[in-house]
Structure 1
Amino acid sequence: MIAGITLLACLGLVGYGMLSTDEQPKPRAAPAAEVMYEVTGTGRAEISYLARSTAGTATVEKGVTLPWRKSVLVPLGKAPTVAIALDEKGGQAACTLAIRGKHVQRATAMGAFGRATCTGELPTSDGEK
């Protein structure tokens, strides 16, 4: 009889745990700012850019036909960056960077394997501009 009562008590606790509807708090997303990267020109290029990655790793797109444009979220405190490398056929291309709709930087790459990088600064918190 004692074993039966103990078994019922254990099953009751297990059942309560399975039926518990308490939701666990979801982790808060890191605050971020909208960044617009744009590469103009003609031909093909390799483009690397920083997007929403708290680790600060870049996304690389190879063999991109220009022009190219991408709007991404970048975590506050990170430096938004877009870098271009023209292919062996060369040409001319320009990168531009806008943070929250405000133009920040422009750079130009020319010739075979020409390179250019545009970088900006983001505040470390939402209260800063």
Structure 2
Amino acid sequence: MREENEHESTGGSPVRRGLLIAGVALLACLGLVAYGTLGTDDRPKPSAAPTAEVTYEVTGTGTAEISYLARGEDGATVVEKDVELPWTKSVQAPVGKAPAVAIVLDGKGGQASCTLTIRKKHIQRATAMGAFGRATCTGEAQAAQQG
């Protein structure tokens, strides 16, 4: 009687089993790729919200806390603390949200002015004075005129 080899009783050599496992894994990956490509909609991606170029400027000396509206569909407010003046920032702000820049002077006081420009057009200027003086400049970002 012939003794069975351990490899023969389990269905083949380790190399064959490895190839079989690799083949099954490859087929599974190909199936997932095919499902991903065939199962997708051809719907257009939603377009980004329209934006307008907005420039915020704070002039003066010393330091201030500056808050302003920045890019994003939700028009999130960005706050920068202990900013050395003068300061300027240009951003794309969502149309339909009112761009604004607000300044708060530190405890040493002084004088600082904020300026708001939308699409290179001056909109508003305001001045803050004294310790913890405050000023805010706001405007309306309209959709661009066609023509």
**Normalization by structure 2: what TM-score?**
0.71
Change (3 A) 1:50 1:14: closer
1:31 pairs with 2:47: no
More helix, by proportion: 2
CA RMSD for the aligned pairs? 2.6
Q: Secondary structure at the match of 1:16?
A: helix
2:106 is the alignment partner of 1:106: no
SS of equivalent residue, structure 2 residue 34: helix
Which residue number in structure 2 is paired with residue 3 of structure 1?
A: none
Instruction: Give the AA of the match of 2:135.
Output: A
Listed as ranges, the gaps of 5+ residues in structure 1 are 1-9
Give SS of 1:47's match.
strand
Instruction: Indicate the percent of aligned positions where both proteins have the same amino acid.
Output: 63
Does 2:95 align with 1:76? Answer: yes
Distance 1:13 1:77 in 2: 45
Greater RCO, CA 8 A, separation 6+? 1
- Whether the aligned pair in 1 keeps the contact of 2:75 and 2:93 (CA below 8 Å) is no
Aligned to 2:64: 45
Q: Which runs of 5+ in 2 are unaligned?
A: 1-26
* 2-structure distance, mates of 1:19, 1:105: 51
| Aligned counterpart in structure 1 of residue 108 of structure 2, from 63, 84, 89 | 89
Between the two proteins, the alignment pairs up a number of residues equal to 118
**SS at 2:73 equivalent:** coil
Q: 1:15 to 1:43 in 2, by over 3 A?
A: closer
Q: Distance in 2 between matches of 1:47 and 1:57?
A: 14
